[in-house]
Amino acid sequence: EAGVAQSPRYKIIEKRQSVAFWCNPISGHATLYWYQQILGQGPKLLIQFQNNGVVDDSQLPKDRFSAERLKGVDSTLKIQPAKLEDSAVYLCASRAGTRAIRGQYFGPGTRLTVL
């Protein structure tokens, strides 16, 4: 089966600019996650979708980050405006359902560098 797709793979921007990331989950996976992984740390959940509804966005910095999952399939994560501390790898993951036996499948990630 095709894996989780993300684009772009790398992005370099200057602070205060805007950036958007795209994720296409595994077909049929109802649950989609966006994580931020700062170098040397474990992934931190930003937002979790169940179909096109938000389940958990408690750690999403809503003043600058936004995410949507229209039609319950692919998703976009936006940062506007970016700060230096947003430099990280942004991982998208999907899961068949909240009771799936394998946990999440991760995409390759987008490495963001904010200068």
Partner 1 sequence: EDKVVQSPLSLVVHEGDTVTLNCSYEVTNFRSLLWYKQEKKAPTFLFMLTSSGIEKKSGRLSSILDKKELSSILNITATQTGDSAIYLCAVGGNYGQNFVFGPGTRLSVLP
Q: Is 31 in the site for partner 1 (CB under 8 A)?
A: yes
Cβ proximity of 60 and 45 under 8 Å:
no
Between 15 and 54, CB nearer to partner 1? 54
Angle at 90 between CA 57 and CA 58, to 5 degrees: 10
Q: Is 72 in the site for partner 1 (CB under 8 A)?
A: no
Please state the closest distance from residue 104 (CB atom) to partner 1, in A.
Answer: 7
Applying CB under 8 A, the site for partner 1 has a residue count of 26
Q: Which of residues 1-30 bind partner 1 (CB under 8 A)?
A: none
Residues contacting 102, CB < 8 A, separation 6+? 95, 96
| Chain positions contacting partner 1, by CB under 8 A | 31, 33, 35, 40-45, 48, 50, 55-56, 91, 95, 98-99, 101-109
